[in-house]
Structure 1
Amino acid sequence: MRPALIIGGVCLTGKTTLAHVIQKQANFRVEVIEGDELHTAVAIAKMRAGLPLNEDDREAWRSRIGVRIAQRPSDRLRVITCSALTRFTRDTLRSHGDCQFVFLTIPRALAELRATYRLMAEDEHFFQPAKYASLLDGQYRDLQIPNETETDCQVFDAEAIDADTIASLCLQDLRSD
């Protein structure tokens, strides 16, 4: 059984885009789960109001993602997009089963620019850092980029490396496992 592939990073790094590129490039079945859809109604309401989440707010979300990791099917790769901003969150997800992490980084200025595009394109998304800078502040405040001690994490500069290249590298690693 393949490990669950968790694509992490602050908002607007391209996690969902990368997940779909992996799905398109793979020569095997890939299922994509969008982590935003696993937040509680209370957490979504909080973000919609411009309030950043704290670790307590993320507890049920981590648990829901953990269930998706533990119950992953053996006939396909399960790719889950979620911020996984902190070492605590990544360790919690690891406790649910075999995971590999792909962590995307971008400069804050690029995240702000993409937030403006998101607001213009899809005002209905509950996470709108162009409206509420506090949301982006919270993400960068909590950000703990994986270091060399997290051997199951690959970190990519998503401004410098395109999604097609990152997807190819991820799939190459998965094929060699």
Structure 2
Amino acid sequence: MVVMGVAGSGKTTIGEALALAIGAAYVDGDQLHPQANIAKMSAGIPLSDEDRWPWLAKVGETLRSGRETVIVGCSALKRVYRNFITESAGAPVLFIYLDGSRELISRRMRERTAHFMPASLLDSQFAALEPPEADENAVAVAIDAPLDEIVKSIIGKIRDLPRSADAP
């Protein structure tokens, strides 16, 4: 699974809580970025697609190498990125889209400390965002509720997904 959304949407907080609730491993996608990407973002420079491809490949590799259920926090802003992650993972990937207003996320970004992504890049994140469409393997969850409610909502949406014939 990939917990996805723009910077400040709660990928790490929600991803860690979801992993704990379902007995999965959580990997913060920020830890998979090359240092050059972190330096660019820290300087307020948005990443280009060329900057993102090696990082997205690492996200897919991390999902593929998991021996247990793995959840990675990754913005996965564009459909082409989500397709690439799925191809790199070599298996279906469920994307959990954290859906929130620009105002809510901007406030959260201003309140957080010790993160390399400045609030000044939020506009570029929303400009690049292509929310998952109905034909993608994704669920959307509103992030304007307490953490435990968000996690319960995600678990409920996962349970409601149709199962394939070969699923346990």
- The residue aligned with 2:15 is 19
**1:24, 1:94 → 2: CA distance?**
23
1:148 to 122, 127, 134: 134
- Contact 1:102 1:153 (C-alpha < 8 Å) held by counterparts: yes
Q: What's the secondary structure of 1:125's corresponding residue? A: coil
Q: Give the partner amino acid of 2:115.
A: H
Q: What are the residue-to-residue correspondences of 1:101-116 with 2, within 5 Å?
A: 101-116=95-110
State how far apart, in whole Å, the 1-side matches of 2:159 and 2:19 are: 13
CA contact (8 A) 1:7 1:15 kept: yes
Paired residue for 2:115, among 108, 125, 131? 125
SS at match of 1:21: helix
What is the SS of the residue equivalent to 1:12?
Answer: coil
1:90 to 82, 100, 105: 82
1:100 aligns with 94
Matches within 5 A, 1:34-113: 34-73=28-67, 76-96=68-88, 97=90, 98-113=92-107
Cα contact 1:50–1:128 (8 A) shared by 2: yes
Q: Where in structure 1 do 4 or more consecutive aligned residues deviate above 4 Å?
A: none
Cα RMSD after superposing both structures: 2.0
- Contact 1:21–1:167 (8 Å) recurs in 2: no
Corresponding residue for residue 163 of structure 1? 150
- Mapped partners of 1:173, 1:7: distance in 2: 17
Displacement after TM superposition at 1:52 (Å): 0.9
User: Secondary structure at 1:112's aligned position in 2?
Assistant: helix
Q: How many residues in Structure 1 have an aligned counterpart in Structure 2? A: 160
Change (3 A) 1:72 1:170: farther
User: Does the CA contact (< 8 Å) of 1:9 and 1:83 recur in 2?
Assistant: yes
* CA contact 1:20–1:32 (8 Å) conserved in 2: yes
TM-score calculated relative to the size of structure 2? 0.87
Q: Identify which range, 17-26 or 108-117, moves more after superposition.
A: 17-26
**One-letter amino acid of the counterpart of residue 153, structure 2:** I
> Structure 1 unaligned runs (5+)?
none
Match of 2:4 in 1: 8
CA distance in 1, matches of 2:154, 2:17: 6
Identical columns (%): 30
Alpha-carbon deviation of 1:57?
1.0
Residue aligned with 2:72, SS: strand
**What's the TM-score, normalizing by structure 1?**
0.83
